[in-house]
Amino acid sequence: MNETARALSTARTLWELLARRADLTPDRPVLLQDERVLTFGALRERAERVAAGLYDMGVRPGTVVAWQLPTRVETALLSFALARLGAVQTPVIPFYRDREVGFALRESKAEYFAVPGTWRGFDHLAMARRLGAKGVFEAYHGRDLPDGDPALLPPPPASGTAVRWIYWTSGTTSEPKGVLHTDRSLIAAGSCLAHALGLSASDVGSMAFPYAHIAGPDYTVMLLLYGFPAVMFEHFALPDTLAGYRRHGVTVAGGSTAFYTMFLAEQRARPDRRLIPTLRLLAGGGAPKPPEVYHAVVREMGVQLTHGYGMTEVPMITMGSPDDTAENLATTEGRPPEGMAIRIVDGEVRLRGEAVCQGYLDPAQTAAAFDADGFLRTGDLGRLTPSGHLVLTGRIKDVIIRKGENISAKEIEDLLAAHPAVGDVAVIGLPDAERGELVCAVVEQPPGAEVLTLEQVVAQLRAAGLAPHKLPERLEVVAALPRGDTLRKVLKHRLRERYSGTVK
């Protein structure tokens, strides 16, 4: 991290960080979308006007404001306006519907709710009315945003340690949890990402994920620290989105493993030319990365790939660095930054540091999540290498117990990812009267691949040296694995539900 970025990272609040950056480089672009360009100075100026308009509406420091908006310039303006006021904001992924949205509004006790109206064929305004949401207003176009006189605003918040953010876990196995963050925890997480990637003011980033995801502020902090812009994509779909990457000369792209594999598929369709000529780095996290994906990206796309480890509770824990060895980039999640303590207890990764959340809306969930030393229990299994790199080996709940032996699903997935007839794979445990659980591999195949058989899967794993008791007893081939709407994680609980009641 350069000296300017290091100095900026000491900002107490997100608004203070924006103000410092706007003072340094007011005319440099920060957000690009289609033909629109917003500079750091304009972001501060316009966000203050929106803050004044919100203040006129009754929003005050501590007021809870929910917003369910796509990745747009207006969304960033609204979010920074709320940060200027010191309101508590609770972003909601725009793909969520009545059940998830209703839960977030009830649990957070939101007093205002910003929606995009009708977006991608769905009427969010009508949903808000069905749910009885309070203070509903549209904030999709610039003309929708509130506007007022910044001279009438109270001073910006001075403390960065108050809870001003409520994010929502994915809730794949139960109701979502409301995760409590402060401005300082988000700045610390973004600083970790910026430090690891070592970007510069000449880079051009990209946001192809929902801005309402915890990755939104994570990435935005990096832009503010280093003073470079990012292209915002309201909807990511290849090959259509490629034109935006090329037009703006994106140098850094990514999101998660699913994004890497989509870029790879497009590159393979046009192997004779660079997919994005200016691209030099893919970076992301949010889901496991098989080593073969790393090697394929470097080999076929001619760019570096760095992968990290984060979660809603701790947006950035570790991150691979472009100057790491190929072995570490392929097989680890990178190293933690200064200030992030990692402890492995009975195989579980536990965390303590400024980027760790304050807990959950439910005090009982908070008490259960932290150990006696204040370390967050992640539920992830892993180990630290002698060089300090973190290797994730699976989830506590993702361990398959077959005849009393623990089996890592991730180990099998990484080995199967190298098979040419495997596009993506999820390994799950299914109930079995004799064995307790049996090992089932669910495979999504690439276009044109010959239909995979269980015998071929077992042969691949035997050749890789996998222990016999870990070999799958069942194979399911699907057209597409079920995925979440944010970082495209595979939803294993749906696969377990689908196949637990059938016998092969």
The predicted pLDDT at position 503 comes to 46
Same domain, 102 and 191: no
Q: How many domains are there within the chain? A: 3
Same domain, 154 and 195: no
Residue 437: Cβ within 10 Å count: 17
- Using H for helix, E for strand and C for coil, what is the string for 417-428? CCCCCCCEEEEE
Per the domain annotation, does 375 fall within a domain? no
426 Cβ neighbours under 8 A, 6+ residues apart: 409, 413, 441, 442, 481, 490, 492, 495
Residue at which a domain ends, from 132, 164, 183: 183
Residue 147 near residue 49 (C-beta atoms within 8 A): yes
Same domain, 293 and 266: yes
Same domain, 37 and 60: yes
The predicted pLDDT at position 95 comes to 87
Distance between CA atoms of residues 461 and 470, nearest Å: 9
The predicted pLDDT at position 136 comes to 98
Per the domain annotation, does 363 fall within a domain? no
Per the domain annotation, does 360 fall within a domain? no
Same domain, 327 and 290: yes
Residue 462 near residue 474 (C-beta atoms within 8 A): no
Same domain, 105 and 221: no
The predicted pLDDT at position 172 comes to 44
The predicted pLDDT at position 486 comes to 62
Same domain, 12 and 160: yes
DSSP 113: E
CATH number of the domain within which 491 lies: 3.30.300.30
Distance between CA atoms of residues 455 and 443, nearest Å: 14
Q: What is the number of H-type helices and E-type strands within the chain?
A: 16, 26
Domain hosting residue 126, numbered range = 3-183
The predicted pLDDT at position 281 comes to 97
Per the domain annotation, does 161 fall within a domain? yes
Per the domain annotation, does 396 fall within a domain? no
Residue 26 near residue 45 (C-beta atoms within 8 A): no
Element of type H or E holding 187: helix 183-197
Phi-psi region of 84 (alpha: psi -120 to 50; beta: other; left: phi over 0): alpha
Per the domain annotation, does 439 fall within a domain? yes
The predicted pLDDT at position 502 comes to 57
Same domain, 59 and 79: yes
Per the domain annotation, does 461 fall within a domain? yes
Residue 223 near residue 216 (C-beta atoms within 8 A): no
Residue at which a domain ends, from 135, 161, 183: 183
Q: DSSP assignment of 234-280, as one string?
A: SS--TTTTHHHHHHHT--EEEESHHHHHHHHHHHHHSTTS-SSTT--
State both tokens at 347.
Answer: 């195989």
The predicted pLDDT at position 465 comes to 81
CATH number of the domain within which 103 lies: 3.40.50.980
Each as own residue / partner, the long-range contacts of residues 497-503 (CB below 8 Å, 24 or more positions apart, any chain) are 499/428, 499/430, 499/440, 499/442, 499/474, 500/430, 500/431
Same domain, 409 and 290: no
The predicted pLDDT at position 485 comes to 65
Same domain, 215 and 302: yes
Within the chain, which residues score under 70 in pLDDT? Answer: 170-174, 404, 485-487, 502-504
Per the DSSP assignment, residues forming a β-bridge with 137 are 114
Per the domain annotation, does 381 fall within a domain? no
Residue at which a domain ends, from 339, 371, 395: 339
Same domain, 304 and 442: no
Distance between CA atoms of residues 444 and 416, nearest Å: 11
Same domain, 135 and 223: no
